[in-house]
Structure 1
Amino acid sequence: MVLTLRYAALSDVGRVRKDNQDSGLASDYLLVVADGVGGAVRGDLASSTAVQALRRIARPAGEDLLEAMAGGFHRAHDKIAELVEGDPELEGTSTTITAALFDGERVVIGHLGDSRAYLFRDGEVSQLTTDHTFVQSLIDEGRITEDEARTHPHRNLILRAVDAVHETDPDLFYVEVTAGDRLMLCSDGCSGVLDRARLADILGTGTPDFAAVELVRASLEAGSSDNVTAVVADVVETDAPHDAGPAPDTSAAASTGAMLVGAAADLPRTKAPRGLFRGHRAGDTGELEPVPGSEAATGRGLPFLGRRAEPAEDLDPEELRYAPRPPRRWAWLGRLALLALLVALVAGGLKIGYDWTQRQYFVAADGDDVAIFRGVSADVPGVELASVHEATDVRVDRLPEYRARQVRAGIDASDLDDARAIVTRLEQLVIECEPEPTDAPTDGPSPDPTARPGEGPTTGPTARPGRRTPGTTSPSAPTTTSSPSPTADALDDPCGEEAP
């Protein structure tokens, strides 16, 4: 009895991405999942090129499996470098690779990036590979748990991949397998949304074909926004010699042979592939255009640390795939909290502003009278910012004209005491500037019998009609015989008509 593989592979563009940049391969001896990075610089070319380069080792290997796998990774690096050299616009493209090479007894795993390999045995799932990501380094240091890593804002920041610049240094190791084992390779569009319990539930039932379809379907139902690729292979016993190939079965592989899926199967192409599950009961998963402002439209970051971001509208959604993004879970709650905070800030600002206005005072006209107002003299629709604080008996029409205009416009005060002092001054102006009654006229002055001919009656100077001149006591008070200065009564005249 010898061991062989029965396998199936499936890739779907998903519900958000416009292009499928995943590639997958399942064959008698080789399983591969590659997740391209690059977006506008064609991550689909990188992943499909890597799969085609590794396909050269998909045969019964007489050489050491580790050396064969390492050679496949180096060949993928060289092929991608040739692509970039021929077309400089492809600079920056890269791909993850997770591969399993089988020789009939054991499997060698090669791994770079965040695609994963799992082993399902005796009802339990174990993860064979370790992600080359930032959050995995935090897990290794004990700073976060695996569950916390699923919602970490930097969970998609990749640290290592196969590109045209850096020499490959993949993780390489053997895995002993037995009949009844099931191997599963997938892109992070699957492993990023399905936990181990769900993976075990799916891998524990049905054929490889059923498991591959269910893995993709369950990933999309769980909310995956990425391309989803799954390769499933059962290790089975057969009487046929290993060199004779797999035993007859009814799986998809029985009629198709080696299975290429995703970008490796679609290239060259001129348009995005249609989603496998279009019209499925779980929802439409075709190649929808990203919603403006959504995660797909703005991208998920930069493929390399330190690279400067470009405006989102100039980039393909996949180009920014591996940089930090915030968790989508409970996003509505965060928006609601932000809205409540903004409302509270605005309300608090309005309350502080209103309280400030109620500590201000000014003197203005309240109908025909002068009054002290509290607040500010401003018109805001629906809001009273000033009210009468103290009424007075001073009438506006008894003030000098320019003072009356000042009162009607409003006279600002520094505080309530200052406002009262202004009112006191206005009351004094009313007294000082109010016209006084004059004496009744007589038939004429009595002649002075001692006066010289031609001289009129002697009288003292009198105030100007209509008001008292400051410094006088009555209109008939005697004065000195010197003539008054022509500018004396024009200085600091509180009853004058100068502009305010």
Structure 2
Amino acid sequence: MITANRSDVGRIRHINEDRSWVGQLDNGITLAIVADGMGGHQAGDVASQLAVNTFRDMLEKSASKADLSMQEGKMLIRQALVMANDVVYDMASRNEQYYNMGTTIVAALYREQQLIIGHIGDSRAYLITADGIAQLTEDHTLVNELVKSGQISLEEAAHHPRRNVITRAVGTDAQVEVDIYTAALSDNDVLLLCSDGLTNMVSDEEMLQTVREEGLGLDDKADRLIQLALQAGGDDNVTVVLLQEESAAYRGGDNG
């Protein structure tokens, strides 16, 4: 498995409140997480860093067994995100300057062509295959609720004045519900995890074209996605994590 992990503060913000991490365990499992923090007075970057650290610490210990099953993997992802919620909520509760801080999370556990995705908020996971690009996660946002109920269209959602209102986040409440998704990742497929600094600026079609670009390494593709977001305005912090099977990536231009 090869990976790319890139983040940029953007053109407007002074602090990068996004955090990300990718790691590979001795048993062949690859772990990845993107967290997009929120809260005033630098609380957002505290929330996202706490969440990433909690996820990493727990999964590096508990997912390292040789024969981890899919069911165990789903349970561990859920437990890690619930624990991240506990840690962030506790810190916010005990420190006035961190009151009401929180973070989104999209996290992945990959082993032997099987993906498990854990998700809270509006950071996203996409699967990019020969057939196109598919969003694996569903945004926990007010605008998405309005779209699902038929009150507004997808086109209206893209420009809605409250499109950044999140309905579920890590650390803002004592309890949190975690969405779990599973998918297969074949040799030529790429998993993309990102914060909304990418998806609010770059279209699905642009993401697809960039990741499917022949002759570009995975790091270059991640860099190009960041640059596309910056060129479109860079209104927010932007973070991109890409995962691809090593064998496919080293066939050069054959990964489309």
1:226 alignment partner in structure 2? 236
CA distance 1:192–1:164, change in 2 (3 Å):
closer
Structure 2: distance between partners of 1:136 and 1:224 = 22
Structure 1: distance between partners of 2:163 and 2:204 = 17
Does residue 91 of structure 1 match 2:95? no
Question: 1:21 offset after TM fit, Å?
Answer: 0.3
**Cα RMSD, aligned residues only:** 1.9
2:45 alignment partner in structure 1? 44
Larger relative contact order, structure 1 or 2 (CA cutoff 8 Å, min sep 6) = 2
Question: 1:152 offset after TM fit, Å?
Answer: 1.3
TM-score scaled by length of structure 2: 0.86
Question: 1:144 offset after TM fit, Å?
Answer: 2.8
Give 4+ residue runs of structure 1 displaced > 3 Å after superposition. Answer: 58-61
1:30 alignment partner in structure 2? 31
Question: 1:27 offset after TM fit, Å?
Answer: 2.1
Question: 1:80 offset after TM fit, Å?
Answer: 1.2
Contact 2:191 2:243 in 1 (8 A): yes
2:120 alignment partner in structure 1? 112
Structure 2: distance between partners of 1:71 and 1:46 = 17
Does residue 81 of structure 1 match 2:89? yes
Q: Within 5 Å, give how 1:239-388 maps onto structure 2.
A: none
Question: Alpha-carbon deviations, 1:125-149, whole Å to 9, x = none?
Answer: 1100010011111221233332321
Question: 1:194 offset after TM fit, Å?
Answer: 1.0
* Counterpart pick for 1:19 among 15, 19, 22: 15
The one-letter amino acid of 2:110's match is: F
Structure 2: distance between partners of 1:200 and 1:123 = 10
The one-letter amino acid of 1:210's match is: D
SS at match of 1:174: strand
Structure 1: distance between partners of 2:223 and 2:190 = 15
1:159 alignment partner in structure 2? 167
1:57 alignment partner in structure 2? 59
Structure 2: distance between partners of 1:213 and 1:185 = 14
The structure where strand makes up a greater share of residues is: 2
SS at match of 1:180: coil
Structure 2: distance between partners of 1:212 and 1:146 = 26
* Counterpart pick for 1:170 among 145, 161, 178: 178
The one-letter amino acid of 1:39's match is: G
Contact 2:41 2:97 in 1 (8 A): no
Question: Alpha-carbon deviations, 1:223-277, whole Å to 9, x = none?
Answer: 1310010101113449xxxxxxxx9x8xxxxxxxxxxxxxxxxxxxxxxxxxxxx
* Counterpart pick for 1:211 among 212, 221, 227: 221
Structure 2: distance between partners of 1:135 and 1:215 = 24
The one-letter amino acid of 1:170's match is: V
1:191 alignment partner in structure 2? 199
Contact 2:34 2:195 in 1 (8 A): yes
* Counterpart pick for 2:152 among 144, 165, 180: 144
1:277 alignment partner in structure 2? none
Structure 2: distance between partners of 1:209 and 1:100 = 18
Unpaired segments ≥5 residues, structure 2: 25-29, 251-256
1:441 alignment partner in structure 2? none
CA distance 1:136–1:209, change in 2 (3 Å):
same
The one-letter amino acid of 1:94's match is: G
SS at match of 2:5: strand
Contact 1:41 1:92 in 2 (8 A): no
SS at match of 2:37: strand
Structure 2: distance between partners of 1:121 and 1:41 = 38
Structure 1: distance between partners of 2:93 and 2:130 = 48
- Structure (1 or 2) with the larger CA radius of gyration: 1
Contact 2:87 2:171 in 1 (8 A): no
TM-score scaled by length of structure 1: 0.45
Question: 1:101 offset after TM fit, Å?
Answer: 0.7
Structure 1: distance between partners of 2:144 and 2:131 = 26
